[in-house]
Structure 1
């Protein structure tokens, strides 16, 4: 391995140490692990470190064809220590700013969509419902009016026919008899109910 390759390896491993520090803080910020053991947290931790290891070997493969030397780990440790000493506070502050900005943008877009899309759609649907109910009520009223007119016409024609044929006297007698029978049935049922 040439000196140039070793130099690039050292620089990339120091940068990777800085990267590990930043990603570790980001991971902790989003996961907010509890002190007690939890299976899901253990799985997340394992996945996090597997991804970090895969990235490390990918970078090593690009820089020096995947050769692992002792100074590689020292360079990563130096980069991580430099991050902890110099960049941690600034990065965490910047991370919080970015998170707040993303949350603010999300709320802004949500309110904008509510004002531009959801409220007008609700208004249109309510208006459509009101119009439909108005049309249905109007049609129902017209239908009732037509049925009343038809019924009046039919009853008038029947009265004329009954008057001409003099069947109205028979029907009047039948109606009177029917009323008497209904009264008798009511009286019988009320006597039965009292017993």
Structure 2
């Protein structure tokens, strides 16, 4: 398939831009891998991915420009684009990528600091205040209960003294009934059973 002169120049221009794009991506990948300190064993893998992606993109551009035909000027355009990039644009791109990485790091640090200032620290302050308030309320409740007990104690002693003549006959009649229930013996038997079960169950494993 013969291409017109305009199509050939268009393809040459597209290859030149592809070469420049390959240089930009290569420098960007190199700076990012250095700044983020990728593991050394991952670098060959990323190199392989880079060249695979670059080949695919160049092929797509070539297909769009001259239906995938490989001519000498295709490689010439790529070489010119790469050379022009590394002579004229490489330093600026590297500096821009480094600046972008620093800006992203600064923004992440700023977000973390703002999160700490406006969310974490207020929550810690509220927690400490709630803890102090709860301790104060507990202390106040205990103090109030003690005061109430001290206030009620004289009335309780007076009531017990006044009701003793009425309570003693009732207690004498209930005492044989309660004694017949055998509560102490039953409690002791229950404790012995629980103790024996505990020794049989957990004593063997130890």
Out of 45, 48, 53, the residue aligned to residue 46 of structure 1 is 48
Per-residue deviation, 1:79: 0.9
Question: What is the DSSP-based 3-state SS (H/G/I as helix, E as strand, rest coil) of the residue aligned with 1:120?
Answer: helix
1:13 and 2:25 equivalent? no
1:116 and 2:118 equivalent? yes
Alpha-carbon separation, structure 2, partners of 1:107 and 1:7: 48
| Corresponding residue of 1:69 | 71
Question: What is the DSSP-based 3-state SS (H/G/I as helix, E as strand, rest coil) of the residue aligned with 2:70?
Answer: coil
| Structure 1, 128-137 or 86-95: larger mean CA deviation | 128-137
Q: TM-score, normalised by structure 1?
A: 0.67
Question: What is the DSSP-based 3-state SS (H/G/I as helix, E as strand, rest coil) of the residue aligned with 2:69?
Answer: coil
Q: TM-score, normalised by structure 2?
A: 0.64
Alpha-carbon separation, structure 1, partners of 2:103 and 2:40: 32
| Structure 1, 80-89 or 144-153: larger mean CA deviation | 144-153
Alpha carbons 2:28, 2:93 under 8 Å: kept: no
Q: 1:37 to 1:94 in 2, by over 3 A?
A: closer
Per-residue deviation, 1:27: 0.9
| Corresponding residue of 1:103 | 105
Alpha-carbon separation, structure 2, partners of 1:74 and 1:91: 23
Matches within 5 A, 1:1-195: 1-32=3-34, 38=41, 40-146=42-148, 153-162=155-164, 164=165
4+ long deviations beyond 6 Å:
none
Per-residue deviation, 1:80: 0.9
Taking only aligned residues, the RMSD between alpha carbons, in angstroms, comes to: 3.1
Alpha carbons 2:10, 2:65 under 8 Å: kept: yes
Aligned residue pairs total: 164
Question: Deviation digits for residues 49-69 of structure 1, max 9, x if unmatched?
Answer: 222222222222333333333
Q: 1:80 to 1:166 in 2, by over 3 A?
A: closer
Alpha-carbon separation, structure 2, partners of 1:49 and 1:126: 57
Q: 1:152 to 1:100 in 2, by over 3 A?
A: same
5+ residue gaps, structure 1, are 168-195
Q: 1:166 to 1:96 in 2, by over 3 A?
A: closer
Per-residue deviation, 1:138: 2.8
Alpha-carbon separation, structure 2, partners of 1:138 and 1:159: 32
